[in-house]
Amino acid sequence: MELTDNAAAGVENKDERYAFLTEWYDSTAALLRRYQLFFYPKDSSVEMFDVKNQRIFLRRTRYDGLQPDDLFVGNRVNVFTRQLCLVDYGDHYTANKLGSKKERTLALIKPDVLNKMGNVLDLIYSSNLIVTKALMTKLTWSQAADFYAEHQSKPLYNNLVQFISSGPVVAMELVGNLAVSVWLKLLGPADAATAQKEAPQSVRARFATDGAQIVGHGSDSLAAAAKELEFFFPSTVGSSPPNTAVCAADCTCCIIKPHAVTEGLTGKILNSISAAGFQISALRMFTVDRANAEEFYEVYKGVVKEYSDMVNELCSGPCLVLEIQGPDAPQTFRELCGPADPEISQYLRPNTLRALYGKDRVKNAVHCTDLPEDAVLEVQYFFRILDG
């Protein structure tokens, strides 16, 4: 089913088609199934071909849940409730058209600017970069020294290591066209004074406090990006730096839902949470499979009529899970989120998260723990079980 370059080029101006090799884990049969996924941008339609059985699995059908920006190798997309991992390009045309400039890079937000994390994310999204992985972690001195090993001979080495291990950091994988150079330009010059003079709109110009505490880090090449991403997001399961969740009695769970992540609302939501006085003590991006989504929402099954739609939304793409801390956090944070229906929130509680960022009862921007006794359990589900 792979298109030749000539055949692919022939449809470019008529009925352009992108092709990807995908994998889907069938939990019922405990099998990894492979499909060719075809996407037609002209009418946002999709088609699927079963690789093993050599037959059409899904005839061409319009599907508005998939966008061209979602199409890059390594991403997970949801097509009619099936979560597909895009493992390779299906033809040279697609690789040349969508993959030639697509890069991955590491963005590291350092301890001095965690309270401005939402602002930094807004700048990232406005630069047409996509956050595909995210983790808040606390590096040991040894881990920080390993990360900065190539700078060991430089005068600021000890200061760099000491500072980056002094508090939590947020590591992110950014994907986009020329992501390495785009993120470095967005960061600005390493010296804060130079950044303020030469690149006043850059991250460092806006948020840096001195020469050593320079807000963030960016990979300086594709090779460095591959190495640094492996440091924070290793391919070996269970070997990544630990998350920072404390799972204490004063914590609660917040999930920024996939639709809000896709719409670039993450930074604004984080800013609203911080402005309300809550501490974000842990953060990780998850791509939840259907079985886990059903398990997490099981308490709502048969109780809330939107249960099935809630499950579909949670496993439709990446979500950002937060551990929130604050006085009586389960109750007070639930008040900040507002009623489940954004229309009701806008009428009764117009400054709540769901009023500001929600669309309907399912795509209502955030999930929060409803019952105080479930708060620690929900945090543990993500940060101890799924991230175990």
Q: Are 257 and 314 in contact (CB under 8 A)?
A: yes
Sign for the pseudo-dihedral over CA of 84, 25, 284, 342: positive
Could you say which DSSP state residue 210 is in? S
Q: Where are the alpha helices (DSSP H) in 88-189?
A: 92-94, 117-126, 141-147, 157-164, 179-187
Sign for the pseudo-dihedral over CA of 206, 283, 147, 144: positive
Exposure string over 154-179, b if 16+ CB within 10 A, otherwise e: eeeeeebbebbbbebbbbbbbbbeeb
How many residues in the chain?
Answer: 388
Q: Are 365 and 358 in contact (CB under 8 A)?
A: yes
Of the candidates 92, 217, 259, 367, the residue annotated as catalytic is: 367
Q: Are 271 and 119 in contact (CB under 8 A)?
A: yes
Please confirm, yes or no, whether 367 is among the known catalytic residues: yes
Distances in Å between the alpha carbon of 246 and those of 134, 243, 269, 280, 379? Answer: 18, 9, 22, 11, 9
- Extract the tokens encoding 111: 């301890």
Give a three-class secondary structure readout of 254-289: EEECHHHHHCCCHHHHHHHHHHCCCEEEEEEEECCC
Longest dimension (CA), the chain: 63
Exposure string over 225-250, b if 16+ CB within 10 A, otherwise e: beebbebbbeeeeeebbebbbeeeeb
Q: Please list the active-site residues.
A: 367
